[in-house]
Amino acid sequence: MATVSSSITGNISEQEYKRRIKAWTMYDWANSAFATTILAAVLPIYYSQVAGATLASPALATAYWARGLSISLFISALLSPILGTISDVMRGKKRFLSFFIGIGVLGTGLMILIKEGDWLLASILFIVGRVGFTAANVFYDALLPHVAREEDRDSVSTRGYAMGYLGGGILLALNVVMLQLLPGTWGARFSFLSVAIWWAVFS
């Protein structure tokens, strides 16, 4: 059987090499659900209309959402160079990846508890989920040189992006159906839970 031999991939079969590539690209399929449903489509509206419904005005709810987003970006910006250094010099990238996936999945899954007026809980869980999402991506990206040969990395990265768009789009479409069919706030809340399950199962 043909083997792939390099200082990074070692002596592994072509079949095993392809399996590793598929596993790496599937993580984009898994975590892009957070980007589509939580970051872009459902949670921002839910925060403004439901979680922040008891605030003084819709403008205040929007301001609080923006503040939570800024805090999550600030924490991520502080952590990213530290985690990047860790990913470069330490072994155990998969363990770090799994750890931050767990944080992101936990924060996202608990969003099912967010009800009307729970803007503070929503902010905290969003920050936890976003930091987990961003930190996990640091170690996910760091794994690529250990998964793919140098000449394959661009194409593998592109395949990962494609899988991400597809996976995130599919779950978002299912979430839209949930929003239409389930009563009250349950459509959105089960959408948040579905992101956590999707992220955990396909990671």
> What are the tens digits of pLDDT across the range 33-81?
999 999 999 999 999 999 999 999 999 999 999 999 999 999 999 998 8
pTM: 0.90
Closest CA to 142 of 153, 127, 132: 153
Q: Which domains are seen in the chain, by residue range?
A: 12-143+155-202 (1.20.1250.20)
Bridge partners of 13?
3
Give the C-alpha separation, 108 to 189, whole Å: 10
66 Cβ contact partners less than 8 Å away, ≥ 6 residues apart? none
Q: What are phi and psi of 3, to 5 degrees?
A: -125, 155
Residue with tokens 């925060």: 47
**Do the Cβ atoms of 122 and 47 come closer than 8 Å?**
yes
Per-residue confidence (pLDDT) for residue 26, from 0 to 100? 96
